[in-house]
Amino acid sequence: MFDKILFGVGAASGLYLVRNLYTMLMVLPDEAAQGMIYRIMFFHIPSWWTCFICFFIAGAASGYSIAKKNFRADSLAVAATEVGLAFTFVGLATGMIWAKIIWGIWWTWDARLTWAFITALTYAAYLMMRNMIPDPNERMRVSGALNVFSFASVVICYKAIDWWRTQHPGAVMSFRTGGGNIDPAMEGMTYQNLFAFLMLCLVLVTVRLRQEESLRTLEGMRRLAFTRQRIAVLG
Amino acid sequence: MLRMSWTIFLKDVRMEFRGKEALNASLAFALVVLILFSFAFDPTSEQIREITGGLLWILFAFSGVLLVNRSFVREQSNDCLDVLLVSKVPASSLLLGKTMANLVFILLVEAVCLPVFSVLYNISMFQLPLWLLGVCLLASWAIAILGTAFAAMTVNLRLRELMLPVMLYPMIIPALAAAMYLTNNIAAGKVPVGDDLIWVRLLVGFNVIFTTLSLGLIDTILVD
Amino acid sequence: MDQRNFTYMFYGFAAAWLILALYVVSLVSRGRKLADQLETLKRTLSQEKG
């Protein structure tokens, strides 16, 4: 039953994204200064927000998992980190393609771009580290601590790099500027795509979470089989 | 707690000075890279002044990792680490003591490299000795505390020499960036004032936050 | 300019969809592998018991 609901939500998010695609391309007009290319922002901005939310959840879940020795929270942390990393790559790719048109270059060492790159590296290191620790208990402790470190460093890095001169466009959404910088229809579109992304993200995190749980079961059973074998040999 | 850290610190320093393995290797590495720099660009040009800080701190970060990598590996023979953990020493004292020892080693490498760099590339690094000392202390502490905490995380891994830098460098970027910026100013003989002080504050804040975090999390990393 | 603009918009959309699709595919394949392993192990364990 749960599987069906999960699949249903996933399919719904996919359909929602397709429907958004239609509105974006057929209903909304081109932007005055940027032309067609601005539509990339409907993917760029929501994917970054989704990735922030994922990393925040991962940090909180890691803190909880090491404080309470909770394996489920640890699974949630790794699931959220991995999905967040996928959305980070979406944000990076779409941003680079947009920059090629607007700035004429694929990449610039602007504050936020640098930050995004560092963040991706930090969390990729976390995932690599996890795969290298065979013992589940030690894995939870060490990678949990590492995730808390990563979150702290990512937050500090965001502030630190912001002091460099930035080329990245400022906030346009009305809740940060008080309105007037963006057409309401376009802003609505951004929120709709964000909603679709969040639905997709929820499904992906849940799927990954259950995989991590069954991986843990698998490891437990392997140990059991190994012990039994040893007993059989010794006995 | 501090007294125990001091004991650990003395033990580590004594152990290192007896063999000098890591220290010698790291120093040799640093000097080799210093010579390599001269091939990367024209060593007599003025342009080197603008990248002094960057070169030096990349060098110190690399040789620093060689040093901190050893600090928990050293305890692995004869299961010394397990004995240390079941002894009365709390894990945070252990971390603090080892960090202080690593700080001393990194500062030693810097103390050798800075004069050599100034002589070889004709840049006087010592126009503002107090500022230089302050920046070196703060940034080296940042490398030492995070490096030692991560060395504790990676000590049981097969690929620890590889994983430590992969994890460490992205996280100390803010501290290194600040140190590079300030060192550039110091090499040019400019006292950091006004807006530049934000980098000093960044270094201090970075150290406070990560020292607290490391001391708080080291129990989870090593014990239980 | 406009043509290029359109092409790059298309690239951007494609990139976003492709990355997510690749992630979903990798997730599904990993899940399948995991289920297979779990099944094999379960069978082995029950055989040993019996």
Six-digit token pair at B170? Answer: 């992205």
ipTM of the complex: 0.83
DSSP letters, B17-68, are HHH-HHHHHHHHHHHHHHHHHHHHS-TTSTTHHHHHHHHHHHHHHHHHHHHH
CB contact under 8 A, A141 and B220: yes
How far apart (Å, rounded) are the C-alpha atoms in residues B39 and B32? 12
Residue A82's pLDDT band, with cuts at 50, 70 and 90, is: very high
Q: A61 or A173: whose pLDDT is higher? A: A61
Q: Which of A13, A34, A36 to substitute to test the interface with C, most C CBs within 10 Å?
A: A36
Cβ density class A155-191: b for 16+ within 10 Å, e for less: ebbbebbeeeeeeeeeebeeeeeeeeebeeebbebbe
Asked, for residue A231, whether it belongs to a domain, the answer is no
The token pair at C43 is 């069978």
Domain membership of residue C42 as a residue range = 20-50
pLDDT reading at A20 higher than 90 = no
Which of A150-159, A200-209, A214-223 comes out lowest in average pLDDT? A150-159
* Cβ distance of C38 and A89 shorter than 8 Å: no
Spell out the domain ranges in chain B: 2-222
**CA-closest candidate to residue A154, choices A84, A204, A64:** A84
Greater model confidence, A12 or A176: A12
Residue A85 has pLDDT above 90, yes or no: yes
Res A218 pLDDT > 80 = yes
Nearest-by-Cβ selection for B174 from A141, A150, A157: A157
The pLDDT confidence band at residue B103, using thresholds 50, 70 and 90, is: very high
In a domain, residue C30? The reply is yes
Do chain C and chain B touch with ≥3 beta carbon pairs under 8 Å? no
Residue of C19, C38, C42 to mutate when probing chain A, most A C-beta within 10 A: C19
How high is the pLDDT of residue B158?
Answer: 83
Structure confidence by residue, pLDDT tens digits, B178-203: 899 899 888 888 887 777 788 888 88
User: pLDDT higher for A73 or B83?
Assistant: A73
What average pLDDT does this structure show over A153-178?
Answer: 66
Q: What is the pLDDT of residue A174?
A: 61
List, for residues A129-141, the tens digit of each pLDDT value. 988 888 888 889 9
Domain that holds residue A132: 2-222
Whether residue B97 is predicted with pLDDT greater than 90 in this model: the reply is: yes
User: Best of A9, A49, A83, A94 to disrupt the C interface by mutation (most C CBs within 10 Å)?
Assistant: A94
The half-sphere exposure of A143 on its side-chain side, counting CA atoms within 13 A, is 30
Written as six digits, the tokens of A181 are 């910088």
CB pairs under 8 A between A and C: 82
User: What string of pLDDT tens digits covers the 50 residues of chain C?
Assistant: 577 777 887 888 888 889 888 999 999 999 899 889 888 888 887 887 65
Which of A36-40, A58-62, A226-230 tops mean pLDDT? A58-62
Domain-embedded: residue A62: yes
Tell me, what's the pLDDT at B122?
Answer: 81
Percent of chain B with pLDDT over 90: 38
Per-residue model confidence (pLDDT) at position B138: 94
| C9 domain residue, yes or no | no
Identify whether C7 is part of a domain.
Answer: no
Examine the pLDDT at B127 and tell me if it is beyond 60: yes
Position C50 scores a pLDDT of 55
Taking residues B76-103, report their average pLDDT. Answer: 87
The model's pLDDT over A94-137, given as tens digits with 9 standing for 90+, comes to 888 888 877 877 887 777 788 888 889 999 999 999 888 888 88
Contact B105, B26 (CB under 8 A): yes
Q: What total of structural domains would you count in chain A?
A: 1
**Whether B205 and A141 lie within 8 Å, measured CB to CB:** no
Residues whose CB falls within 8 Å of the CB of residue B64, separated by 6 or more in sequence, listed in order: B26, B102, B106, B109, B140, B143, B144, B147
Domain count of the fold of chain C: 1
Angle in degrees, 0-180, between the axes of helices A136-162 and B160-187, rounded to the nearest 10: 20
**For residue A172, what pLDDT band results from cuts at 50, 70 and 90?**
low
DSSP one-letter string for A136-149: HHHHHHHHHHHHHH
Instruction: Please give the residue of chain A at the shortest CA–CA distance from C7.
Output: A37
Task: Determine the Cα–Cα distance for residues A117 and A92; give it in Å rounded to an integer.
Answer: 8
Would you say residue A51 has pLDDT above 80? yes
Residue A142: is its pLDDT beyond 80? yes
What is the SS3 assignment for A31?
A: strand
CATH of the domain at A131: 1.20.120
A102 inside 8 A of chain C by CB: no
According to the model, what pLDDT value does residue A166 have?
55
Q: How far apart are CA A222 and CA A232, in angstroms?
A: 15
Q: Would you say B144 and B213 are in contact if contact means Cβ atoms under 8 Å apart?
A: no
Is B153 in Cβ contact with A146 (below 8 Å)?
A: yes
Section A12-18 average pLDDT:
85
